[in-house]
Structure 1
Amino acid sequence: MSDPLVRALRLLELSPRRVLYAVAAGVATLGSALALAALSAWLITRAWQMPPVLDLTVAVVAVRALGISRGVFRYLERLATHDAALRGTVSARAAIYRRLSEGDPAASAGLRRGDLLARTGGDVDALGDVVVRALIPIAVAVVLALTAVGGLALISPAAALLLAVALAVSGVAAPVLSARAARMAEADGALASARFSETAVLALDHAAELRVAGRLAETVRRAGDWERREIRATDRAAVPSAFAAAATPLAIGASVLGALLIGIVAYGPDGGAPGEMTPMSLAILVLLPLAAFEATGALPAAAVALTRARIASGRIMALLDRAGDAPAAGGVPVTPPVHLRATALRSGWPGGIPTDALDLDLPPGSRVAVVGPSGAGKTTLLMTLAGLLAPVSGAVTVNSVPAAELDQAQLRAAVGFFAEDAHLFETSLLENLRVARGDVGEAEATATLESVGLGPWVAELPDGLHTVLAAGGRSLSGGQRRRLLLARALLSPARVLLLDEPTEHLDAAEGAALLHGLLDRDSELVAPDRTVVVVTHQLPSDTVADAVLRVEAINRLPVR
């Protein structure tokens, strides 16, 4: 298998033209600095000789031009570099989301939300940093180092050799030490960081439930423990990092001092004579190395970025490899209508207490309500029916075909799980509905929103369906959020709708009306050939559901 970093970098879909443009701008930036140092050294020493002022005019203008061009090229280099990196991270995230959606959902469902957030957030950012902090700086440093050594060799081969050794210390030894420090920090701190994120998200998302269960203080304490472990890992990596930071200044001092001594010896008693070391050459010999190290000074940070990206890419590719391990299609296409069956099914999170075994027969058009106390396993039952969690035991079949033999595209076209905490994006209302089906038109979206009771609210929005939810789901009330998620579910192509608490945060009358619409076969809210399974704590007493399933066993999510 190829290097995970190389595989992950392909996700960035970097444009060679953009990368070359960024490298060229970087070379021009530091090339201007290198030429400015050499020309300034020549100008200062030549002016000391008090020649006719016209002899210095071209050099003076060139110094001004190089000073200006350095800033201009630096701006262009940053613009090009960040453009390439940001486009790459967008492409990488889109590819990851696409692979996760097309692959095995259990690959991500088995991860805590904090860990999944770290892999799709911070890890992708680390991958993008490779462009800004590693690939382009390394290419620029190589070109500039060769140019500086070659230019100095024209004056003094010995000084050029010394500069080459010093640049190797700054550009190779220092990055190696930095990479070692980064590996120590990441290897020891990555697990702690991920566990801290998981525990913190758990505490933030479920503070009320944890407080009721008497586990909130323990969860907060565990988050603090993981944070302290991460800090200790960073401290342990400080020693090699300090040596890496000292390597470049030491190399610069040795190079400049060595070049000065070599220049003094070469200057000799006959300095300035034809064929000998001139004052201008001596000044260039001393000042040129100072500018040459500007390119290698960024390489320790580049090594750190590469190390972090390598570790991050391993986590990203592990996630995608899990998502890509979905079994091949069983050769039996899933087409409407869909008949879903569960036989001796026990569901639960890994490490948790599974539900009791149950048999469930859902022919097309079934209407079933699932009730039970909080934590009994109602949501995990729906996730297992949808293929998001593997059954603890038993089997799920779709039109007599084992769900495990269907590819994920087939399974999602048949069965859709719609979580109560599904994400709402910071984009337009219409685009949030198109998450379920990309071809949803405005008329269909408006009709669906009206059917779930959001018609008056949409009519009051400044831009209607095109109003941007400025803060995503946080810009809506609890009831509006649930209605919008329900509309998304109704617009999905799934023939079996597994709905988790769709009427939570609604008042009793409105919630009962929606549940009647979802569970009544004669209702126009859901097509009669679509199956609906609803988890609810607010089941009306006069329910018209075909069956009411009560889940009694307690299923606890393991605390890790």
Structure 2
Amino acid sequence: MSTVLTPAERRALRRAVHLLELDRARFALSALIGTLGLASAIALSGTAAWLIARASRMPDLVALGVAPVMVRLFGISRAVLRYCERLVSHDTALRGMTALRTRLYQTLAASRADVVAGLRRGDVLARVGADVDAVGDLVVRAWLPAAVAAGTGALTALAVGLIHPPAGLALGACLLLAGIAGPLVTIRSARAAELARTEQAADLSATLLTALEHGGELNVAGRMPAVMKDLEDLEHRLAAARDRAGRPAAAAAAIDAAAAGLAVLGGLLTGLPAVASGALDGVWLAVIVLVPLSAFEATAALGPAAVQLIASAGAAVRIVELTDRAEASTAGPARPLPPAPIGGSRLRARGLAVGWPGGPIVAEGIDLDLGPGDRLAVVGPSGIGKTTLLLTLAGMLQPRAGEVTLDGVAPWGAARDDVAGRVSLTAEDAHVFSTSVLENLRVARGSVSRPEAAALLARAGLGPWLDALPEGLDTTVGPDATTLSGGERRRLLLARALAAPAPLMLLDEPGEHLDAPTADRLVADLLDADASRGVLLVTHRLSALAGADQVLVMGRPAPDRPAEVLRRATHAALADHDDAYRWALSQEDEQ
């Protein structure tokens, strides 16, 4: 492995395998069972060859001895042992995958939010899904075939050598040729194709998620055909990468077949003179010639095992890179927030510029104050940076310029529980868990009682919906709210936000997927109720903002400039004096 993997890949693979927490005894057991199973297949071939050759001399039935029984024994044991090996090896690998995936989730959960927020969702899906599977597949698709091939190869060469030493030496040499040369050819040729395939697979996941989750917006903007064309191109490139990865496997198979032919030829060339001289019985010549045909079944699996080694090494590099970033973000102690002021927590932004890590600044020059009882609304066209602003205010993204303070301290790098206890953020794509309605509310606060949950749902406009549920609060919601309509999902997320104990609440499009009157009524209720809380909401709807203390209108001063807060005033003042705001409001009235 040291000659075919880079130092970085070897280090990453060792660390990732360590995280698998493999049970070495179970792996050794699976290798032993696999070796015995393949040895049974080879022994079946050798016994059958001996039996046929011996029977050709038409001896008495008793002269065949127990060979017919051994044929049955090896035929049955081969299938049974192979099944047992699959059970033990896959159980070992799946346990390891579970341990690795759990460790990865725990590390990400303890890290700063920007570690995950800075990744595309397709990348996260690839790393906690396919990459973890690839590292686990190393056990059953690379290590196990190598161990079985080494064990059965040694046993077979030894057994043939006991019958006729020159034939055993020839078989051993050919097994080494197939077991070393074939995988080396495969590894060196498959590296580029496999790396290209994994990169394109992540791009494919990211593009597919974009098309699925934002199909409506892309259709409205007329960009869906371009996204689908990109998806088609990615699929073609992925298929081409798979074809390239298959060519080395074909070369390895050719080497394996050639080595098997050489082993048969070696058995003939060394066995025929021995038979002619009387040093070897002709019956055993059939054995040393036919056994190699079964012995190379073990080396045939080494080509795919080599490809799996490269795939697992690449996956390990990506997993270790992610865990290193996550662990580095938690290397120092989180900075505690100071005690909340007597009047309640206060969130301030001064000269704030926001943007995703590694990307351009999308909005800048933002000033705002949010404290208990304050009602702020941020409006503007899609893509202007409103959601990015909310993530930055919640401490999930680092400011690109300017500052954000929560009770005088930057929430960035502060203890996560401290920030969550003072600022709650409900994103537009927040997750709904596959559990009961009550437990989905308790995600925000574990002490939510059943009467309180019913009241929160009623406040979010889900009272009649709750009454119609077959099991009430105990009704299970499908994975990511697949059993709910878009509007019901948004209201459930809103009820969860209302359940959070934080005195400051940030809401991203609370009225999304609701009909206009319902959305306006919901937003108005949010702005009018619970005067002890500060509310900052992002919305496209303007009609319900009469209860906002201040409306911040975001826009770009020039097409090539980041967005800014172009105007700020009360809803009434903007409706009276701002032509663009008044026009947008009139368009809503006509809908």
TM-score category of the 2 structures, normalised to the smaller one? 0.7 to 0.9
Query: What is the CA distance between 1:146 and its match in structure 2?
Result: 1.7
Q: Call closer, same or farther: CA 1:390–1:282 in 2, change over 3 Å.
A: same
Query: What is the CA distance between 1:407 and its match in structure 2?
Result: 4.3
1:93-119 deviation digits (Å, cap 9, x = unpaired): 333222222212212222222233222
Query: What is the CA distance between 1:352 and its match in structure 2?
Result: 3.7
Structure-1 residue corresponding to 2:535 = 532
- More off after superposition, 455-464 vs 295-304: 455-464
Query: What is the CA distance between 1:439 and its match in structure 2?
Result: 7.1
Q: Does 1:368 align with 2:376?
A: yes
Structure-1 residue corresponding to 2:272 = 264
1:481-504 deviation digits (Å, cap 9, x = unpaired): 112222333445655432211221
Structure 1 contact 5–314 (Cα < 8 Å) conserved: yes
Structure 1 contact 106–323 (Cα < 8 Å) conserved: no
In 2, the alpha carbon distance for the partners of 1:84 and 1:193 equals 27
Where do residues 480-491 of structure 1 align in structure 2 (5 Å cutoff)? 480-491=488-499
Structure-2 residue corresponding to 1:346 = 353
**2:37 equivalent among 22, 29, 32:** 29
In 2, the alpha carbon distance for the partners of 1:105 and 1:239 equals 42
Structure 1 contact 371–549 (Cα < 8 Å) conserved: yes
**1:324 equivalent among 306, 324, 327:** 327
Structure-2 residue corresponding to 1:551 = 554
Query: What is the CA distance between 1:450 and its match in structure 2?
Result: 4.2
Q: Call closer, same or farther: CA 1:431–1:299 in 2, change over 3 Å.
A: farther
In 2, the alpha carbon distance for the partners of 1:364 and 1:371 equals 21
The one-letter amino acid of 1:291's match is S
Structure 1 contact 113–201 (Cα < 8 Å) conserved: yes
In 1, the alpha carbon distance for the partners of 2:530 and 2:170 equals 88
Q: SS state of the match for residue 383, structure 1? A: helix
Q: Does 1:114 align with 2:122?
A: yes
In 2, the alpha carbon distance for the partners of 1:192 and 1:476 equals 33
Q: Call closer, same or farther: CA 1:521–1:126 in 2, change over 3 Å.
A: same
1:497-553 deviation digits (Å, cap 9, x = unpaired): 322112212234433443344333536xxxx3x543221223554643444333224
In 1, the alpha carbon distance for the partners of 2:89 and 2:438 equals 34
Structure 2 contact 182–253 (Cα < 8 Å) conserved: yes
Q: SS state of the match for residue 76, structure 2? A: helix
Give TM-score, length-normalised by structure 2: 0.83
Query: What is the CA distance between 1:431 and its match in structure 2?
Result: 5.2
Where do residues 56-455 of structure 1 align in structure 2 (5 Å cutoff)? 56=64, 58-270=66-278, 276-326=279-329, 328-333=332-337, 338-349=345-356, 350-364=358-372, 366-430=374-438, 432-433=440-441, 435-436=443-444, 445-446=453-454, 448-455=456-463
In 2, the alpha carbon distance for the partners of 1:322 and 1:193 equals 22
Structure 2 contact 249–303 (Cα < 8 Å) conserved: no
Q: SS state of the match for residue 357, structure 1? A: strand
Query: What is the CA distance between 1:383 and its match in structure 2?
Result: 1.1
In 2, the alpha carbon distance for the partners of 1:210 and 1:333 equals 41
Q: Call closer, same or farther: CA 1:412–1:29 in 2, change over 3 Å.
A: farther
Q: Call closer, same or farther: CA 1:459–1:181 in 2, change over 3 Å.
A: farther
Structure 1 contact 104–325 (Cα < 8 Å) conserved: no
Structure 1 contact 12–88 (Cα < 8 Å) conserved: yes
Query: What is the CA distance between 1:378 and its match in structure 2?
Result: 1.0
Q: What RMSD in Å do the two structures reach over aligned CA positions?
A: 3.1
Unaligned runs of 5+ in 1: 271-275
- More off after superposition, 478-487 vs 352-361: 352-361
Query: What is the CA distance between 1:302 and its match in structure 2?
Result: 1.0
- More off after superposition, 236-245 vs 164-173: 236-245
Query: What is the CA distance between 1:91 and its match in structure 2?
Result: 3.1
Q: Call closer, same or farther: CA 1:377–1:75 in 2, change over 3 Å.
A: same
Structure 1 contact 326–408 (Cα < 8 Å) conserved: no
Q: Does 1:41 align with 2:38?
A: no
Query: What is the CA distance between 1:477 and its match in structure 2?
Result: 0.5
Query: What is the CA distance between 1:356 and its match in structure 2?
Result: 3.1
1:165-184 deviation digits (Å, cap 9, x = unpaired): 22122222211222223212
**1:53 equivalent among 52, 55, 61:** 61
Structure 2 contact 362–384 (Cα < 8 Å) conserved: no
Q: SS state of the match for residue 475, structure 1? A: coil
Query: What is the CA distance between 1:435 and its match in structure 2?
Result: 4.8
Q: Call closer, same or farther: CA 1:465–1:522 in 2, change over 3 Å.
A: closer
Q: Call closer, same or farther: CA 1:83–1:424 in 2, change over 3 Å.
A: farther
In 2, the alpha carbon distance for the partners of 1:398 and 1:308 equals 45
In 1, the alpha carbon distance for the partners of 2:561 and 2:71 equals 68
- More off after superposition, 488-497 vs 241-250: 488-497
Q: % of aligned pairs identical?
A: 47
Q: Call closer, same or farther: CA 1:208–1:434 in 2, change over 3 Å.
A: same
In 2, the alpha carbon distance for the partners of 1:430 and 1:251 equals 65
Q: Call closer, same or farther: CA 1:261–1:503 in 2, change over 3 Å.
A: same
Q: Call closer, same or farther: CA 1:323–1:377 in 2, change over 3 Å.
A: same
Q: Call closer, same or farther: CA 1:211–1:344 in 2, change over 3 Å.
A: same
In 2, the alpha carbon distance for the partners of 1:467 and 1:214 equals 39
The one-letter amino acid of 2:275's match is Y
Q: Call closer, same or farther: CA 1:494–1:185 in 2, change over 3 Å.
A: farther
Structure 1 contact 339–399 (Cα < 8 Å) conserved: yes
- Larger RCO (CA under 8 A, 6+ residues apart): 1
The one-letter amino acid of 2:174's match is A
Query: What is the CA distance between 1:433 and its match in structure 2?
Result: 4.5
The one-letter amino acid of 1:421's match is D
Structure 1 contact 334–413 (Cα < 8 Å) conserved: no
In 2, the alpha carbon distance for the partners of 1:21 and 1:466 equals 45
Q: SS state of the match for residue 108, structure 2? A: helix
In 1, the alpha carbon distance for the partners of 2:157 and 2:454 equals 68
1:226-261 deviation digits (Å, cap 9, x = unpaired): 444444444444543331221111111111221122
In 2, the alpha carbon distance for the partners of 1:119 and 1:268 equals 63
